[in-house]
Amino acid sequence: MAKVGIFFCFLLAITANCSNSVVSDQARTQVQPPLSSPGGSVPKGEEVKEQGEKGRPAAWETGTYVPMLMGKRLALVVNQTSTIGSTHLVDSLQSLGLDLKKIFAPEHGFRGAADAGATIADGRDVRSGLPIKSLYGKNKKPSAADLADIDVVLFDIQDVGARFYTYISTLYYVMEAAAEQGKTVMVLDRPNPNGHYTAGRTLDYPEARSFIGIAPIPVVHGMTVGEFARMVNGEGWLVGGVRAKLEVITMPGYDHQQVYDLPIPPSPNLPNQHSIYLYPSLCFFEGTAVSVGRGTRKQFQLYGHPKLRYGDIRFTPTPGPGSADPKLNGELCRGVDLSKMSLEELRQAEWQLDHLIRAYQDLTEQGIKFFTRPDHFDLLAGGPELRTMIENGNQAHQIQASITDNITAFGQQRAPYLLYP
């Protein structure tokens, strides 16, 4: 009965009046195809409790994109966030009779349970029966063989708006492979929870380019995944300047100032909205001696070290889901708990460097090496400037001032690719 209900909703969707748009990178025009009904391909009674219809993820707009996919052989780049309400996109599209050939899995895997950096193995999804091809580990880019039986690669993954969050790197490599093989990439756009601001120096150094810094964008880039894909294409950032056949399904009513509370954690160590707001600031601690709470229940919501001389909490990192061997495993740490801040305070605070600088000063005064992984820190920062400025005693406001022109120039460069106000 569930499949019948889904299909009935779909039939209603493709006959409904609508206002959604498909953005094609080839035509650079917007067309007005039918928009899905409020139900989309979601089982009857399903609701978007976190935000209502305005600005909801484009995956809901089945009336727009499902007709475009009929008769096409599909690969889906998806994970646990790829849902329409409580129904996974794979299940919805398979129920509608689309020709799904395979699943491409990003970092953390198809179900999103693997540790950061853990190797993701190929496999098969028990529920759908589809083969799962890993795009994390040794092979981050689909091969010609992977795409030989595919017409369209559909990307639908929730991002958090930070350059070093690797889902956009997966999208980059998917676009590159598709361009080389003459395939189409369709992006089902999703809100960026950190899309209301831009911060951090643009990645200017070719030697700093990596899977945690795939493109010359700031640390906090202020784009949705669809906008990012358009900028990658438009600026010719793919290897050899190739351009993918790109379609972006947009979100009616979305704007970059919209508050979007993620209904599903995007990865094991970003469990809630507090961690998502703090992630762009606290991730730099990953290149230092300081813990960011991996191995606790407040990942990316606190930081600390056994020798830190300030802080209101004590915590001991221990192995657990998403963190098999956390930094400072088994060591009692003193630190600062930022989860006490309200979500509104965190949203307004935006990119914070004061915590990083204060911890550096406190530990180095004691003769403790702070930048334990300087090369990794520089990859996160997009070059050595941030580390050098901290080592030279610069304060947060001085660092911020030094990149004002850089951020302004990026904003002008980005403007033609934005899809939302």
Which residue among 212, 236, 263 closes a domain? 263
User: Distance between CA atoms of 281 and 394, rounded to whole angstroms?
Assistant: 17
Contact 195, 164 (CB under 8 A): no
User: Distance between CA atoms of 382 and 214, rounded to whole angstroms?
Assistant: 10
Q: Examine the domain organization and report whether 315 and 184 are in the same domain.
A: no
Q: Examine the domain organization and report whether 47 and 184 are in the same domain.
A: yes
Q: What is the pLDDT of residues 258-276, one digit of tens each?
A: 999 999 999 999 999 999 9
Counting Cβ atoms within 10 Å, is residue 199 exposed (0-12), middle (13-18) or buried (19+)? buried
Residue 412: HSE in the Cβ half-sphere, 13 Å Cα cutoff? 5
Domain at 192, CATH number:
3.40.50.12170
Report yes or no on 318 lying in a domain: yes
Q: Examine the domain organization and report whether 75 and 207 are in the same domain.
A: yes
Q: Examine the domain organization and report whether 46 and 144 are in the same domain.
A: yes
Report yes or no on 388 lying in a domain: no
Report yes or no on 13 lying in a domain: yes
Q: Examine the domain organization and report whether 95 and 209 are in the same domain.
A: yes
Which residue among 245, 263, 281 closes a domain? 263
Report yes or no on 149 lying in a domain: yes
Report yes or no on 402 lying in a domain: no
Q: Examine the domain organization and report whether 115 and 192 are in the same domain.
A: yes
User: Distance between CA atoms of 96 and 79, rounded to whole angstroms?
Assistant: 19
Q: Examine the domain organization and report whether 206 and 183 are in the same domain.
A: yes
Q: Examine the domain organization and report whether 58 and 140 are in the same domain.
A: yes
Report yes or no on 392 lying in a domain: no
- Structure tokens that stand for 171 in this block: 């999208």
Integer CA distances (angstroms), 259 to 26, 49, 102, 110, in order: 31, 14, 33, 26
Domain span including residue 127: 2-263
| Alpha-carbon 200 to chain mean position | 17
DSSP state of 53: S
pLDDT score recorded for residue 204 = 85
pLDDT score recorded for residue 255 = 97
pLDDT score recorded for residue 125 = 87
Q: Examine the domain organization and report whether 48 and 160 are in the same domain.
A: yes
Which residue among 263, 281, 304 closes a domain? 263
pLDDT score recorded for residue 156 = 98
Report yes or no on 255 lying in a domain: yes
Q: What is the pLDDT of residues 193-242, one digit of tens each?
A: 999 999 999 998 888 999 999 999 999 999 999 999 999 999 999 999 99
pLDDT score recorded for residue 53 = 74
Q: Examine the domain organization and report whether 282 and 322 are in the same domain.
A: yes
Q: Examine the domain organization and report whether 245 and 138 are in the same domain.
A: yes
Instruction: Please identify every stretch of the chain with a pLDDT value under 50, giving residue numbers as ranges.
Output: 1-20, 27-51, 113-114
Sign for the pseudo-dihedral over CA of 203, 209, 212, 217 = positive
Indicate the number of domains in the chain.
Answer: 2
Report yes or no on 235 lying in a domain: yes
Q: Examine the domain organization and report whether 99 and 201 are in the same domain.
A: yes
